[in-house]
Amino acid sequence: MTSHTEYLWFETAKQEEFVRITDEVEAIVARSGVTDGMVLVSAMHITAAVYVNDWESGLIADIKDWLNHLAPKANYRHHQTGEDNGEAHLKNLIMHHQVILPITEGQLDLGPWQQVFYAEFDGQRRKRVVVKVMGISELG
């Protein structure tokens, strides 16, 4: 069993931003040497998410609208602590912070329209995602 860990760093220009990271995850899988296994992609911040879906601008806009409907900017009790990002925490709970993806023959084994995304809900500061590849490699 082989394990390989790398980090992706983000500092988004906007407070809320959706970033396609499929290519970066695929590159890490390739560097790992794992030919059969899985990769965990996990946001290491509670105001961000990682998810898999279609890479289509209308759908991404629909997801943003849906999240803003479910977790709008409001006067959350969390803000009484001096924070102002209560809705970002709720959006993380809705979208989740991590995904586990299969690796087959050294490649991400995604469906035809599936892409991996990092969703930032409280951006404009440095954050990271851990990418941990685990499985069998031809080398060992």
Count CB atoms within 10 A of the CB of residue 52.
16
- Give the chain's radius of gyration (CA, Å): 16
pLDDT over 90 (residue 139): no
pLDDT at 138 over 90: no
Per-residue pLDDT of 7-51, as tens digits, reads: 999 999 999 999 999 999 999 999 999 999 999 999 999 999 999
Q: What percent of the chain has pLDDT over 90?
A: 98
pLDDT in tens, 83-108: 999 999 999 999 999 999 999 999 99
Percent of the chain with pLDDT over 70: 99
pLDDT tens digit string along 68-84?
Answer: 999 999 999 999 999 99
Q: Name the nearest CA neighbour of 55 among 110, 112, 113, 121.
A: 113
Q: Is 31 helix (H, G, I), strand (E, B) or coil?
A: helix
Contact in structure between 101 and 90 (CB atoms under 8 Å)? no
Residues 107-133 pLDDT 10s: 999 999 999 999 999 999 999 999 999
Topology classification of domain 2-137: Jelly Rolls (2.60.120)
Residue linked to tokens 């999240």? 67
Beta strands in 13-139 (DSSP E): 17-20, 34-43, 48-54, 98-104, 107-108, 114-120, 127-137
CB burial of residue 74 (10 Å; 0-12, 13-18, 19+): exposed
* Amino acid 80: pLDDT: 95
